[in-house]
Structure 1
Amino acid sequence: MTQLVSRLIIFFVLITPLHIFNALAQTAQQIEQFSRLPKAQQEALAAQMGVDLSKISGLSDSSSASDGESQQNNQAYPRGTMFDEFGNPTAPLDDFENQKNDEQDEELKLYGKDLFANAPSTFSPTSNVPVPANYIIGPSDELVLQLYGKENAEHRLKVGRDGNVMVPKLGPISIATKSFSEAKSFLSEQIKAQIPGVEVSLTMGELHSMRVFVMGEAFKPGSYSVSSLSTITHALFVSGGVSDIASLRNIQLKRAGRLVETLDLYELLNSGDTRKDLLLQSGDVVFIPTVSNTVTVDGQVRRPAIYELKGGESLSDVLKLAGGALANGYEQAVSIKRFIDGKQVQLTVDQQTQNLEVLNGDQIVIPEISPFVSDSISVIGAVARPGKYQWHKSLSIHSLLGDTQRDLLESADLSYVLILRESENQHDLDVLQVDLTELDVSQNLLLQRNDKILVFSKVESEVLGDIKLEDLGYTATELAQKDKELWQARIEEKLFWRSVGLTKVENQAGKYDDTKMDMQSQSIIELSEAERKKVLEFKDSTYFSRKRMLSPVIAKLKQQARYGKPIKLVDVAGEVKVPGIYPLSENATVRDLIKAAGGLTEASYSQQSEITRTKINANGSAEVEHIEFKPFEVLSSDGANKLYLKSKDRVNIFAVPSWQEELTVVVKGEVEFPGEYTIRRGETLADLVKRVGGLTEFGDPDSVIFTRETLREQERKNLRALGQELRKQIASESLRRQSGAGSIVSYDEARKLLNDLTSAEAVGRLVIDLNKIIQGKATTNVILEDGDALYVQVRRQSVNVIGEVYVPTSHLYTDGQSYESYISQSGGYRALADKERTYIIRANGAVSIPGNNNGFWFSEEQDNISIMPGDTIVVPFDSDNIDNMTLWTNATQILYQLAISVAAIGSL
């Protein structure tokens, strides 16, 4: 092969101009590329170059079939692989195409067709295998003759076209049409008779090639040159295999017009029987007829496929071809769809009638056995080994969950365990409630077959950063690694919730990017409204929480309720740890329901609670009654005061009168004792100022910020509403306006304002006059609420000027100076400034508008406004320059107000 490439390249050099000579330098890569070309392309390329391949040693017709080393390097590619001009396979399909092909491959295929799925593009059987004794010697075969004894010599004898070999000292000897064993014996006898005292060893050398025909339903029917050692299957491979409609059980070998053998590939595939895979002879025809009768076998079998029939096979025979039924296959009801006289007939066959003869077109399906596991019980929830267990008559809940340390998780709630039991007639669900802390061997509860045991967790909600003492028993390096794994899990969880569109998407700066919000907040996984509500409901609950585990139980109990079978649900509200709807267990009492709800909270009132019950009167109408009880009595350990529950009862556990959770407020800045304070209900801001020791000598009572959580939440809602309204106006104006007509502010600037507004942080500021409150002159003192915060700023000596001025900055306060003079010190008004709407934000948050005694927002009622230290003068943008953007002013003023408050709080 190297010699051929060298000659071709020399030819190219002779006919190529000198200036491109270097581009044709012979390389190992070029030789390798030419070697990979199919023989037909090599011959065509050589013919164009005027080179005769048959005259180059090593490239004769027989070389490709006899060169064992090169044949071993043949590479197999999947059928349909595309090749480039050098014979190299093209790039593989991308993942999406592979996925589509995999989906298409799920359809059943003709069994055995995959045998040729990776048929090589050029195939020849290896020649370095022992020659069989029945091999027929023909022209061009080479015999290796070794003589030893009296005379030692080795001769390579070529069989001529006349069937003779020229043996030194003996002359021509005819061995044509003899088998290898016959030729070996014949030559040995002839040589020993002519040359006494020598022993003869005869082996085959290079074998001749021959031409055979592969016809019928071959993938590429035609005439092929193959090795003389080729069999029927070799001919199938060299032709690329069989077509989609080819028969694999009736492949015929014809010689001189006579049928020699019929090959059934199923015998080769299933049992490895090659007795009928005969050696080919020159001129043989391998004929592949069209497949005639087939059946489809699907379902729970080892090899679902389409199988070819030879005739007379039974259902049992076909199932053996398919490898037999899987362990979960139900052979008692094999489904057969059959076509008879133009009609489709359904047959169901059991194991006793599997000798039924199958017919062409039958569709056989082995169904799957029922998922129901007989004679078992299930353990679900916060247990060490959840799953199914074998049931027997003496199996009790104590034997399964008796060792709480070994059998249960640390988070398991021992006081509330449910046993779900189905009635035998209508599969209705009955609920039994068990308290493992009160269960001993003498009170053991026997389980019934198919019971389900539910063990709940004491923890309902997941809290990031929950740490157990045992979790700290590692080295610092191990703890750091565990922290990384924890945060990695949180990131993956965040990405999941984002994929279903349940969280907002933030940009790199941590701000919400409104320009991408609509696209990025769309869920990758489309959820229905019901699915979305369910996902949100369970998002933060633990896996074994009551909310999550009781959901399917409650749904089942609602479903089975009907006339005469009241719904087995009760409700508990008020001061219990986990209020909500619970299954009504057999003989359930109020005590059982309180245990189910996790017990009472510390705020529960032990002297009074009530049950609200709906009952049917004698006349058939519904009546609501209220039953009072004392929780401490129904929870007594002796159980003497049992109060039984009925369907749809609602238990309300009252709170202790005047009970309050811990209410806290925060005081920061220039006070004597800043910090967090616990308050009582009704305590006022004046009381708080006394408790913190009053203001320091540097504290400014006219420069305070008071924030409230309820106001902050209301402010968030207002910002969202204003943003929605502004978004509508922006969209409306963008459609209405004409290009360049009457619009000074661009659409992008309006969008930027909208982004700033939607991402602004709500403050929840309440404007107060702390001076009057301290002095007791305020008409209304501020009653404190949980979460309130008071920020007392240091006395300031500056006045801020912001907005549409040339140099927004701060100025040193000068007594008696007007706001106009401060604006002049900042360079004066800019061209787009709205002079008449200039306003002053006081240090305490109040807003004053010069010359307007009606006020704006929290404006002061005075005509002559004086500037005080800490005030901020705001020169707004003239929104009249924007087409009908009436909300522009409000939006910008809100942003100014929020920015000033946040900056003041952040400076403390």
Structure 2
Amino acid sequence: MKKITYVLILFFILLTSSNIHAQDILRSKDLSTMQVDYLSDDDISKISAQLKSNNATIDQVEPMALSKGMSQTEFNKLRLKLAQFEKKKPVNIDADNSKGKATSRDSEFGRRQEQIKNVKIKDSANALIFGSELFDNPTLNFEPDLKLATPMNYILGPGDELQVSVYGVQEYNASIPVSVEGKITIDYVGQIAVSGMSIEAATQKIKVAIARVYSTVGSGQSQVSVSLGRIRTIKITVVGGKQPGNYSISSLATVYNALHLAGGPGKNGTYRNIELIRNNKVLKNIDIYKFLVKGDQSDNISLKDNDVIRIPAYNQRVNVEGEVKRPGIFEMKKGETFADLLNFASGFNEFAYTASVNVVQKTGKEFKVHDINESEYNSYQPQSGDVFRVTKILNRFENRIKIEGAVFRPDYYSFKEGMRISDLITRAEGLTEDAYSKRARIIRLKTDLTTEIVNVDLAAALSGDFNADIQLKREDIITVYSILDFREEYKVTIDGEVKNPGEYEYFENLTLNDLVVQVGGLTGSASKRVEIARMVKSDNIDDADPKRVELVELEITVDNNEQIKNFILKPFDVINVRKMAVYEKPQMIIISGAVTYPGKYVLANKKETVYNVVMRAGGLTSIANLDGMKIKRPIKAEQIEDLERIDLNLSKGDTVKDKLSKKLKDDLKFVTIPVNWEKIVKDKNHYSNVTLFPGDEIDVAVYNEGVKVTGNVLLTSEIPYRSGKGFKYYINSVGGVDSKGWKRKAYIIYPNGKAAVTSSFLFFRSYPRVEPDSQIVVPEKPERKKMSAGEWAGIGTAFASLALLIVTAFK
């Protein structure tokens, strides 16, 4: 707290002191008249510097400023202006962004330098020129490293700042700038001229001058240290670059740093003969290729004030295309050869044809083509405009041979003159056990690039018969057959009451027991009857025998999946394991609603009816609606498939069929069967006493005296049932139909799922009877396309023509 109080007092003193540069901002202790809008950027910069020098923030000085009469509004404006000023300040890449601090570059090392920025834009136009990528990469800027020790040969000049320290018995520490006259001023020592001197010479001169004032320096009891605190900025000029002009750069900057700022050579600028001009004389010729090819920075010398970097136009450029590691445009010096150019392009790639290179040359009138052989690479000197094309090697082999089939190592092998079939088989580790030794095949490429087949007696060739052991040629493909290649793939099929029916591979001596075990055994519904269909084979056609297959019937022990006598199968047999005559798992239905014992019930017999199940459920309760019983039957997948297979003769773009299928699958999911319980009780054979299917649900509604009215009516509601009241009464009770309602097509749904519609005859309309717990639905009128004025005009014209025709006919 004491520290903050001290900072606040010090800040106030700094603001009001007559020695502070910002005294014209706050002329008195009264801040009530302060207008932040009139503060310049320089004033804001001074306030920001004062805050930083006292290690205080704008929020810490807020109470002090408000106590001196400054309004909260003006203080908020000041805070905003300071924040905007901080954002405008250039932030170095070493800034501590995570803490919100922006420090000068390398200030933590005691040395400062003004930030120099230059926005880089990718040069796509000159991307093929070798070396252009060096100058449009913002991360490669060749900036001097301020963290290094002060170079002893560094020449001081106006704008530099020296850090002079005396330590030991006597102490002194100060940052002293070099004035425009080239001098520094040390307290009690006086002025010392250092401009034009190296840092080493200036250090000795400063030590001698200090020793005359500080006696302990001469005796050695105190030491003097001189280092470079702030580096000056120098002016240089770049001519011929992409961004030529005058640049202010660090006095430690080098040629490459200046070239990077200028974007490198221009479109026609040279990369091999850049001139560094100092005092109107060419001091150095810079070849950037030294750095690009060898990493040699001997040409990257330091710059001085008023240096000029001149980039002349290039003399020779050539183009390298094709199979080199770095194709592009390269600049050549006089005396350099194609071998040097190949070095610039990083050499041939893996697929290059290296025996010769094709070059397109330019004469005074036209182009010409020249081939450079490998022996000329070190002597041929490229000319300006040459285009070198390095092609690919041929997609062929000079010594390849192949063996495939029944050998242990089928593959490609190297070919040698005089190689025979036995030599190649030996290299392939010999024949496999299933090899067919009577014949092998050679596919041979003839001289005219057509192919031929050469047959080989493999057994004779391997037994030492010189004539059979054929001599091979390059690109021969030898195929050794396998006896398995000549065998038909035999299968057997098993179906019926087995766990994994399907087609299986046939093996010699395969039995029915083996196959049953292989498919996982029989299911619980399997009977002992097994039928095997076997193909009939004969060389003669017997028209008197109509059999297509031979049928074999067997019996199997279901308990242990075994036969009494094992039956051997043959290829292509089809086995069918029959199902038991009676094997049905218990199936259930659901009864819900107003019954004594609702829930799931098993169908006790094949013709279980509604009445039987209701009685098993304890009968209807006292609150049951006798007219509200219905059956919900799930829609089966095969029913939907049957609907989809029906051709409704619709137009190509009509989606009625798809919508209907989707509605059955996703919306309805079941159909409703109305039940008339009163009729069933009187007559068990009544058609309402339907036979139930597995999955059916009997829904017995609870008696409800209301009548629901829905659809296109003004108010969807439920109206109490009143005996004797008709259809119109209930529609009027909900306010009638709305503007889209189609009253004459209104219908009613009764509690048991039945529906009745409004009917009409001539001018008379008959509405269905209303019962308790029913639902009246008013549908929406279909949209009708209104006739346009042109259509009405067409109809009128047609009638006029017809009238004219009739009048004419009766004249």
TM-score calculated relative to the size of structure 1: 0.45
Structure with the largest fraction of helix: 1
TM-score calculated relative to the size of structure 2: 0.49
If you compute each CA radius of gyration, which structure gives the higher value, 1 or 2? 2
